[in-house]
Amino acid sequence: MTDWDLAIFIIFMRSLAEIHEALVHPGLIAVVRANRRDQVIPLTQALLNGGIRAIEITLTTPDAIAAIREACQVFGSTALIGVGTVLDATTAHAAMDAGAEFVVSPITKSEIAQAARSRNRLVMLGAFTPTEAQTAYEAGADFIKLFPAEGLGSSYIKSLRAPLPHLRIVPTGGVDLTTIKSFFDVGCPAVGLGSSLITAQILEENDWLALTERARTLIRALDPVTKPQH
């Protein structure tokens, strides 16, 4: 971590409780797989303009660590910047050095949870089955990323949480305007939004106004939803 990175971290460092609060209100996590590093700043601004502040910059984005650092420097405490598609502790630490406040993995790997916990950052581990979800929980995950959620739907999460109500499930994939309310209805504290929010066309055309409008539409879809406390 450079002196500049350390200064940014100290100035804008949130507590774990504050990170949790920012993530679940309104509970929409934008999963960013940008085509280029230089798209991340205008893309993040467009999402903020539309009411979404939790931004998960995946490692599939070119120069993702540098993009995370730049986003943290530009947006400071305005956005909640995290890292996604993390597969090991070394990469998690590199992203956290750059300023990432939450760490997301599509898999269950205890070393990732341990890395995040050692830095007082929020961590979300991936799972698909009840056994994987419970294993992720026992490994120290704050949230369980249900991935891929396509084809499972909210009924699967309702069934999963019946015997395992302590699990805080965040579905990613299969979440759009037609399904989003159903996930909150069954107790999900948040959802991950990838291509249903940040479409290939938006990225191809750099159409940030369209992205802002899509974000606003999703926020409006949550207006009648009374979310449970988590």
* Cβ-based neighbours of 170, under 8 Å, separated by 6 or more: 29, 124, 143, 144, 145, 146, 188, 189, 190, 191, 192
Q: Where are the domains of the chain?
A: 3-221
Query: Is the pLDDT assigned to residue 180 strictly greater than 70?
Result: yes
Q: Give me the active site residues, please.
A: 56, 145
pLDDT band at 2 (very low <50, low <70, confident <90, very high): low
**Contact present, 145 and 168 (Cβ < 8 Å):** no
Give the closest residue to 92 by CA, choosing from 128, 70, 63, 118: 118
Q: What are phi and psi of 98, to 5 degrees?
A: -80, -10
pLDDT band at 6 (very low <50, low <70, confident <90, very high): very low
Cα distance from N-terminal residue to C-terminal residue, the chain: 33
Is 193 exposed, middle or buried (CB count within 10 Å of its CB: 0-12, 13-18, 19+)? Answer: buried
pLDDT band at 148 (very low <50, low <70, confident <90, very high): confident
Q: Region 139-143: what's the mean pLDDT? A: 98
Query: Is the pLDDT assigned to residue 193 strictly greater than 80?
Result: yes
pLDDT band at 190 (very low <50, low <70, confident <90, very high): very high
Give the tens place of pLDDT for each residue, 18-67: 999 999 999 999 999 999 999 999 999 999 999 999 999 999 999 999 99
172: DSSP letter: B
Full-model pTM: 0.91
CATH of domain 3-221: 3.20.20.70
Share of the chain above pLDDT 90, in %: 86
Query: Is the pLDDT assigned to residue 201 strictly greater than 90?
Result: yes
Task: Give the model's pLDDT for residue 11.
Answer: 47
**Contact present, 68 and 99 (Cβ < 8 Å):** yes
Give the tens place of pLDDT for each residue, 155-165: 999 999 999 99
Task: Give the model's pLDDT for residue 21.
Answer: 95
pLDDT band at 224 (very low <50, low <70, confident <90, very high): low
